[in-house]
Each structure stands twice: as C-alpha cells, then as structure tokens.
Amino acid sequence: MRFQVLDILPHLTNPVTGRRIRTDERYAQALTSARYAEQFGYDAVALGERHAGEFLSSGVTVLLGAIAATTGRVRIQTGVSVLSIHDPLRVAEDYATVDQLSRGRLELVIGKGNEMRQLPMFGIGNGDQWDALAEKYELLRRLWREEEVTWEGRFRGPLDKVTSLPRPFAGAPRIWHGSATTQTSAELAARWGDPLFSANAIQPRDNYTVLIDHYRQRYAAHGHDPRFAYVAAGAGFLYLADTTQEARDAFGPTYEKIVAFFNQPGMHTPGNEMTFATIDDAIAHGPVLVGSPQQIAEKILWWHEAFGHDLQSFSLPTMIPHEQQLDMLERFASEVVSVVRKAAPTTLWTDADPYGGRPAVHGRTVADAANEVAKAQP
C-alpha cells in the first residue's frame, strides 16, 4: 500500500483550548509538513481546495507550486481540485505549471466538491455540478493531450485552435476521481479508465464498499484492464499515542466538539453529516485513525479487507501544536506504514503501473526529461 498525507487547510479555533494560529503560520506548517512527509518516506502529499467555510485552501495551486519547488521525490496531488466550478483551460495551465515545477510528479484528483456554498460563487447552479464536472473533465483531457483544440460546450465559451501552455512535463498527468457519497464520480472514473479516490470520511465502511464495488464493476464493463482499477481511501484525523486509551483521552474532547460544530444545520451538505458523534464510536467503527500504532495498522487493514485499496490517505490533527503533528507523522511512518505495506502490497507507482514512470504520450518519460535537465546543468 502507498500512503498520502492530505491537508485541506482548515483554519479553526481549537474548541477545547481556544488556540488559533495566524494564516501565514498555517501556510508555513503545510509546507513544512510536506517536506517532512517526503523525508519520512511517504509516497504522496496532497492539498485540498475549498472556497467557503473556515479553510485557507482557495489558492491551492500556489501552495502546491511551493511544495513542488521544495521537494524532489514525493508525488504531489490534490484532494480535491473542484473542477466543476473552474475553467478547464485555466486548470490545465495552472496544474501543468505545478507539473513542470515538480518535473512530472503531479497527479490531479478532481471532484464536484462537497461544499454547496461555493457553487453560486462561481456561477454554477445547484443541480448543474455533475454535468459541469463531466463536460469540463472531457475538455481538460483534450487540453493536456492535444494541441490546437477546437471545442464548444455549455459551461464556458468556445475554443478555436487553442494550445494550453505550459505543456505537462512528460505527457498528461494521471487524474483520479474523488467520490464522497455518490456513485456519479465513480461512474465517470470507470468510463474513462481512471482510478477512484473514495473519501471514506463520514459514513460506515459498508457504504464505501458499495461505492468501490460499483466502480470496479463499471470499470471492467467499459472494457478497461482491471489491473489498473486503482482505488484510494481517505480517513479522518490521525491521532497516534502509546495506547488507544491515551489517544482517546487526549483527542476525544476535541473530536466530539468538531462533530457537533460541523453537524449544525447549514454547515454541511444535507445527508453528509458526520455519523460517528462520539470518539468511542469513531475509533471502533468510523473513519478516524485514533489509537496506538497497532490499533491504527489493524484498522487500515480492516478497511483494506473491504476496499482492496492501493493508496491510504490521512490528515494530521492541525489544531494541535505543529511539533506534535510532526512527531506523529514520523512515528506513523516508522511504526504503521511498514506493517501495512508488507500486509497489503500494490503495483501502484511501480514498473507494473502505466503511470509508474509517467510515460509520455510523445515518448519522453520523467526519467528521460530529468536526465535532459541534469545534462543541461553547467
């Protein structure tokens, strides 16, 4: 299994301690966590995108560019890029820039977004987000694979022989489809032969199992090779301690106040409330990684029994001191990741994966391009 560290940049006051850090400090923490994730051996780092609510991730491409410029190995992803509200031409330009800065390490994760309040901010009517996502994704694919694109659709003006610049570093990056609770994104992923990123964030395991099983069935029905029906799964907060009881006692009060806050009317999309209200229920059955290293490893493998997933994502508890977050990040890498990787191998990002070296449509691989850059150095 591969591992991703995700930050959607929540900017909340700790409901127990009353602590809230400055915006510039929050950004600095996100960049530092990404560098440490690479140092500790994680496979990918991701930043989410939100435009409403208490989040600082509206300018996510800027931050991903900074991460790309200050790391050298780790894959760079989104979590998600809300393609339904954006111009695909601008998305193609911005993320190809990040891809160039990272020398081919970008993999985009797209979705329609779970925050309903951001739709009218970008001129998308409630009910149009799925059609907008499908149309814009098809255009984005063409812009990254073709030059002089001529196109006409419903959600943006027509294009006449447009070539987006910069071009991606080594052929079109892989695109994952994020799905929180519905099968629409899973169907879109299956249609195009793309991987699926299940949020696994708010509902019981069985609900996400139905979603993932549907995706794999439709992926094969569309004629794609089942070996490449890669699946990722999210998780709630990570809180690691020597014992599960210690983790429960330390994080439980904060967790339960967060749930109560987000489950207020108007704070979530109807039907997407957090269903595990108590810390004990969340630890036993919900999508949080709270406990001892052994407890957390067992839980990820419990999910893997149902999902068969290849990539596990998790988020640090960003309301606690950053030094404590980094300690958990290091300990998770040394005491959990190695155990899970041994028990749940995957071909994702190996030579058996068509994108393992990001093969270029035009014949140049990431390694080829990196060698060209190295030879050009004085």
Written as one string, the DSSP assignment of 323-358 is HHHHHHHHHHIIIIIHHHHHHS---TTSTTSTTTT-
pLDDT of residue 359: 45
Sign of CA dihedral 188, 348, 175, 31: positive
Residue 13 has pLDDT above 80, yes or no: no
Whole-angstrom Cα distance, residue 369 to residue 105? 12
In the structure, what pLDDT confidence band is assigned to residue 180 with cuts at 50, 70 and 90?
confident
pLDDT of residue 178: 96
When comparing pLDDT for 54 and 136, which is higher? 136
Q: In this structure, are residues 201 and 135 in contact, taking their beta carbons and an 8 Å threshold?
A: no
CA 246 to the chain's CA centroid: 29
In the structure, what pLDDT confidence band is assigned to residue 346 with cuts at 50, 70 and 90?
very high
By three-state DSSP, how is residue 227 classified? helix
- Which among 32, 94, 39 is positioned nearest to 67, based on CA atoms? 32
Buried b (16+ CB within 10 A) or exposed e, 322-355: beebbebbbebbeebbebbbeebebebbeeebeb
In the structure, what pLDDT confidence band is assigned to residue 364 with cuts at 50, 70 and 90?
very low
Whole-angstrom Cα distance, residue 110 to residue 82? 6
When comparing pLDDT for 361 and 322, which is higher? 322
Average pLDDT over residues 35-41: 97
Average pLDDT over residues 208-235: 97
Q: For residue 59, what is the DSSP state?
A: T
Residue 358 has pLDDT above 90, yes or no: no
pLDDT digits (tens, 9 = 90+) for 190-201: 999 999 999 998
pLDDT of residue 267: 58
Residue 375 has pLDDT above 70, yes or no: no
Residue 298 has pLDDT above 60, yes or no: yes
- Which among 312, 324, 246 is positioned nearest to 279, based on CA atoms? 246
Whole-angstrom Cα distance, residue 99 to residue 106? 5
When comparing pLDDT for 364 and 294, which is higher? 294
Residue 216 has pLDDT above 70, yes or no: yes
- Tokens representing 193 are 């032969």
By three-state DSSP, how is residue 104 classified? coil
What percentage of residues in the chain have a pLDDT greater than 70? 92
Q: Structural domain boundaries of the chain?
A: 2-376
In the structure, what pLDDT confidence band is assigned to residue 334 with cuts at 50, 70 and 90?
very high
Residue 378 has pLDDT above 70, yes or no: no
Cα separations in angstroms, 284 against 146, 239, 268, 373: 49, 14, 24, 50
In the structure, what pLDDT confidence band is assigned to residue 270 with cuts at 50, 70 and 90?
low
* Global confidence as pTM: 0.91
pLDDT of residue 127: 78
pLDDT of residue 345: 98
CB atoms closer than 10 angstroms to residue 273: 16
Residue 96 has pLDDT above 80, yes or no: yes
Average pLDDT, the chain: 90
Q: 246: Cβ–Cβ under 8 A, 6 or more apart, which residues?
A: none
Residue 361 has pLDDT above 50, yes or no: no
Task: Give CATH for domain 2-376.
Answer: 3.20.20.30
Q: In this structure, are residues 175 and 108 in contact, taking their beta carbons and an 8 Å threshold?
A: yes
pLDDT of residue 257: 82
| Amino acid found at 49 | E
pLDDT of residue 376: 54
Kindly state the helix (H) or strand (E) to which residue 81 belongs, with its residue range.
strand 81-82
pLDDT of residue 362: 34
Whole-angstrom Cα distance, residue 292 to residue 288? 12
pLDDT digits (tens, 9 = 90+) for 107-154: 999 998 767 677 777 777 777 888 999 999 999 999 999 999 999 999
Average pLDDT over residues 197-223: 95
Element counts in the chain: helices (H) and strands (E): 12, 13
Residue 273 has pLDDT above 80, yes or no: no
